[in-house]
Amino acid sequence: MPSWGPRDARLVVVGMAPGLRGANRTGRPFTGDHAGLLLYQTLIKFGFARGTYRAAPDDGLELRDCRIVNAVRCVPPANLPQPKEVATCNRFLAAELDGLGFCRIVLALGVLAHAAVLKASGIPPTRVRFSHGAMHTLPSGKLLADSFHVSRYNTSTRKLTESMFEQVVATIGRKLADGG
């Protein structure tokens, strides 16, 4: 599954893997599955996307100063990436992050994405603990922002609420506005 969004974006959102009924079917990350609802409405609200999200790749939605990538490039069995798949795809994530010279903040959606970004940055994943809303400085100088994943499970159990996710994205917006 290819990444989506401008290569000169200052914000890179890292998800887990393409969803079977979402991105794999539509060809656009987080499109056509429940996770896209919260992600895209929040990106629109804070100026990282424009248009209207209608869960279809031809809805006219455009990312602005934001790019979306996944830790795993292919749909995993049972829709849950296995450690071997994450390890196999990590070189692609590392190359993607290295190739984005304007990127200042990487938003990891969930523990798996957080660990994959750390590994792609040369940091043992056990060294920096995931914590929703936390920001960590990577060796490259980029910031790693943590958020619980925008999945249906997390939102329906209220592990992640709309306001919790909006707070993370608002903080990212402020940091970028301040030159972060």
What pLDDT digit, counting tens, does each position of 74-119 carry? 877 777 788 889 999 999 999 999 999 999 999 999 999 999 999 9
The CATH topology of domain 11-174 is: Uracil-DNA Glycosylase, subunit E (3.40.470)
109 strand-pairing partners:
147
Q: Where are the domains of the chain?
A: 11-174
Residue 125 has pLDDT above 80, yes or no: yes
Hey, CA dihedral for 41, 43, 44, 46, is it positive or negative? Answer: positive
Quick check: pTM over 0.75? yes
| Banded model confidence at residue 22, pLDDT cuts 50, 70, 90 | low
What is the per-residue pLDDT for 1?
65
